[in-house]
Amino acid sequence: MNPYQTTLDRFLRPGIPCSTSGHRLKTLDVHLLMRPWLVAASFRAYSFAFGCKQFRMIRAFATKVSHKVSTRSVSPRMGYLVSQSIETESDNSRTVTRRNLMESGVAGVGAIALSALTATSAAAHGTLASHTEIDNDNTYYEIGGAASAFSYNAGFYSRLETWAQFFYNNTPGTWLKPIRLWTYGVHVDKGSASHDYGRGFDLSRIYATVGGALTLVSYQRYDIWRTYTGNQLTTYRRWYWGTAASACYHFQYVLHYLYNTDHWNHIHIDNLVSGTGNSTFNTTSTTQVKFVQASLNYVWGYPVTIDGVWGSQTSSYASQAIARGGGSGSLTASQTNWLLFCRTTTRYGTGAQAY
């Protein structure tokens, strides 16, 4: 565990579930807000340690909060209200700590400050377009199950259409359209780096028409199926990781149930890093490595330890899977091998093809 992430996580605590979006929200800890000097002092320590622009920004934010709190006679209720005004969506807060602190240095802390500041006003999110379908697969809201329109950034929507076509082409030939995609949401101004801009999609389930009947063929509700047993458990798990593989092919950030408990009921997908292109594999990404290890276990049948650490055991089994899929070499050798692993895991996991 990165010590800075651990420290940052202490500033965040599980908050209230958002009744409209279904996201669990995070709030800055009320007790820390009640001790503004501690917040400011802590961020000053970060700033001293790194001396970068982002930390100066968050220090300025901390000072602002300190001033706001300390210039009033703060009751516990007021502290709560202050924390409400700077809430962040779980994907964002976790994403920032893991993605930026662990993979790209320290810029993420600045992102927390920025998202917190912008959350108080309607966040600027560029031009969004409303759609009721993705590649003609109608979209449904996980909460209530109604056919619903969602707002997307155009570039992200294009990537989702490419993903939906890929999913259709690499899943069993008996899984026919109409297909229904269920989601917890796309655009929502909650201080989430991806969802604010209509560039995050929270996939919860997929129905396909099988034998003339709409059938649940991919279920991201790990919170539900994790208690299943026998063939039902192994089938849902294979479908889950097969679907995750299809997303990992197209998007750099795919947050699954092994990422954290906030993602036990959906897979978060965004293109903040991968943009208009496909993804690449990064051995320092715990999330990607866990995806590889889970796929090797539950799809390919290799007993690799799922710990998020890239090592010789994982690498060896991944190479064997690549060979079975018709490639050669290691997963880290090229983007081609990574994409081959994701595509064959999609096909093997969903049952389109055995290797």
- Which 3 state secondary structure label does DSSP give 253? strand
Q: Strand locations in the chain, DSSP E?
A: 12-17, 24-28, 88-89, 128-131, 133-134, 137-141, 150-153, 176-183, 200-210, 213-219, 253-255, 267-270
Looking at residues 280 to 309 of the shown chain, list those that interact with Zn ion (rule: CB under 5 A): none
How near is the Cβ of 188 to Zn ion at its closest, in Å?
9
DSSP state, residue 300: T
91 binds Zn ion (CB under 5 A): yes
How crowded is residue 173: how many other Cβ atoms within 10 Å of its Cβ?
7
- Closest distance of CB 279 from Zn ion, Å: 17
Contact region for Zn ion (CB under 5 A) — 25-33, 114-122, 200-208, 230-238? 200-208
For 229, residues 6+ apart whose C-beta sits below 8 A from its C-beta are none
Q: Which of 19, 16, 68, 1 is nearest to 39 (CA)?
A: 68
| Residue closer to Zn ion, measured from CB, 87 or 91 | 91
71 by DSSP, 3-state: which? coil
Q: Could you say whether residue 200 binds Zn ion (CB under 5 A)?
A: yes
Quote the DSSP letter at residue 99: I
- Rounded to whole angstroms, the Cα distance separating 17 from 195 reads 16
The window from 39-47, 76-84, 87-95, 343-351 that contacts Zn ion (CB under 5 A) reads: 87-95
Q: Counting contacts by CB under 5 A, is residue 263 touching Zn ion?
A: no
User: What interhelical angle do 154-169 and 335-350 show, nearest 10?
Assistant: 60
* x-or-dash string of contact with Zn ion, 265-284, rule CB under 5 A: ---x----------------
Total residues interacting with Zn ion, rule: CB under 5 A: 4
202 lines the binding site for Zn ion (CB under 5 A): yes
First vs last Cα of the chain: how many Å apart? 36
CB 202, min distance to Zn ion, A: 4
- Cβ closest to Zn ion, residue 17 vs residue 301: 17
User: Of the listed pieces 59-67, 91-99, 272-280, 307-315, which binds Zn ion according to CB under 5 A?
Assistant: 91-99
CB-nearer residue toward Zn ion: 46 or 163: 163
137 binds Zn ion (CB under 5 A): no
Site residues (CB under 5 A) for Zn ion, limited to 11-40: none
Which of 6-14, 51-59, 113-121, 202-210 is the region at the interface with Zn ion (rule: CB under 5 A)?
202-210
**Residue with smaller CB distance to Zn ion, 252 or 314:** 252
Q: Considering beta carbons, is residue 89 or 137 the nearer one to Zn ion? A: 89
196/202 with CB nearer Zn ion: 202
Tokens of 16: 């209230």
Of 4, 345, 2, 336, nearest in space to 170 by CA:
345
Binding site for Zn ion (CB under 5 A): 91, 200, 202, 268
